[in-house]
Amino acid sequence: MATLHAGAAMATELGADPDAARYTRLAERGSAYLESALWSEEYGYFFQRVDPAHPTAPNSNRGCHIDQMYGQTYADQLGLPRVFPAGKARTALTSLFRNNFVPDAASYRPPGIPAPRVYAMPGEAGTVMCTWPHGGSTEAGQGGVVGYFNEVWTGQEYQLAAHLFAEGMVAEALAVTRGVHDRHDARKRNPYNEIECSDHYARAMMSYGVYLAACGYEYHGPRGRLGFAPRLSPEDFRAAFTTAEGWGLYRQKRRGDRQECAIELRHGSLRVRTLAFEVAGPVRSVRVNGRRAAFTAEGARVEITLDAPLTVRAGSTLEVILDR
- 76-99 pLDDT, tens digit each: 999 999 999 999 999 999 999 999
Residue 56 lies in a domain: yes
Question: 239, exposed or middle or buried, with CB in 10 Å at 0-12, 13-18, 19+?
Answer: middle
Say if residue 186 is in the same domain as residue 221: no
3-state helix, strand, coil in the chain (%, to 5): 35, 30, 40
Residue 10 lies in a domain: no
Say if residue 172 is in the same domain as residue 293: no
Residue 3 lies in a domain: no
Say if residue 126 is in the same domain as residue 189: yes
Say if residue 112 is in the same domain as residue 173: yes
Say if residue 195 is in the same domain as residue 221: no
Band of pLDDT at residue 15, cut at 50, 70 and 90? very high
SS3 of residue 130 by DSSP: strand
> What pLDDT is stored for residue 138 in this prediction?
95
Say if residue 235 is in the same domain as residue 192: no
> What pLDDT is stored for residue 107 in this prediction?
87
Say if residue 203 is in the same domain as residue 260: no
Say if residue 273 is in the same domain as residue 252: yes
Q: Which residues are within 8 A (CB) of 15 and not within 5 positions of it... i.e. 6 or more apart?
A: none
Residue 22 lies in a domain: no
Residue where a domain stops, chosen among 178, 213, 248: 213
Residue 201 lies in a domain: yes
* Cα–Cα dist 294/287, whole Å: 9
Say if residue 175 is in the same domain as residue 314: no
Radius of gyration of the chain (CA): 22
Domain extent, residue 183, equals 38-213
> What pLDDT is stored for residue 142 in this prediction?
81
Number of folded domains that form the chain? 2
- 301-318 pLDDT, tens digit each: 999 999 999 999 999 999
Q: CATH number for the domain including 279?
A: 2.60.40.1180
Question: 252, exposed or middle or buried, with CB in 10 Å at 0-12, 13-18, 19+?
Answer: buried
> What pLDDT is stored for residue 220 in this prediction?
94
- 159-208 pLDDT, tens digit each: 999 999 999 999 999 999 999 999 999 999 999 999 888 899 999 999 99
- 259-287 pLDDT, tens digit each: 999 999 999 999 999 999 999 999 999 99
Residue 223 lies in a domain: yes
Nearest to 306 by CA among 243, 263, 251: 263
Say if residue 137 is in the same domain as residue 231: no
Say if residue 209 is in the same domain as residue 274: no
Residue where a domain stops, chosen among 213, 245, 265: 213
- Which runs of E-coded beta strand occur in the chain? 39-40, 45-46, 64-65, 101-102, 126-127, 130-131, 218-220, 225-228, 236-242, 246-255, 258-278, 285-288, 291-292, 294-298, 301-313, 317-323
Residue where a domain stops, chosen among 154, 188, 213: 213
For 76, 112, 113, 139, 162, the CA distances from 143, given in Å and listed in that order, are 34, 12, 10, 12, 30
Residue 304 lies in a domain: yes
Query: What is the pTM (predicted TM-score) of this model?
Result: 0.95
- 32-73 pLDDT, tens digit each: 999 999 999 999 999 999 999 998 899 999 999 999 999 999
Residue 267 gets the label, from left (phi > 0), alpha (psi -120 to 50) or beta, of beta
**199: which DSSP letter?**
T
* Cα–Cα dist 291/285, whole Å: 10
144 has a pLDDT exceeding 90: no
Say if residue 120 is in the same domain as residue 242: no
Least confident stretch, 62-71, 108-117, 230-239, 253-262? 108-117
Band of pLDDT at residue 108, cut at 50, 70 and 90? confident
Kindly write down the DSSP assignment for every residue of 95-118, as one continuous string. HHHHHHEES-GGG---TTPPPPP-
Residue 31 lies in a domain: no
Band of pLDDT at residue 116, cut at 50, 70 and 90? confident
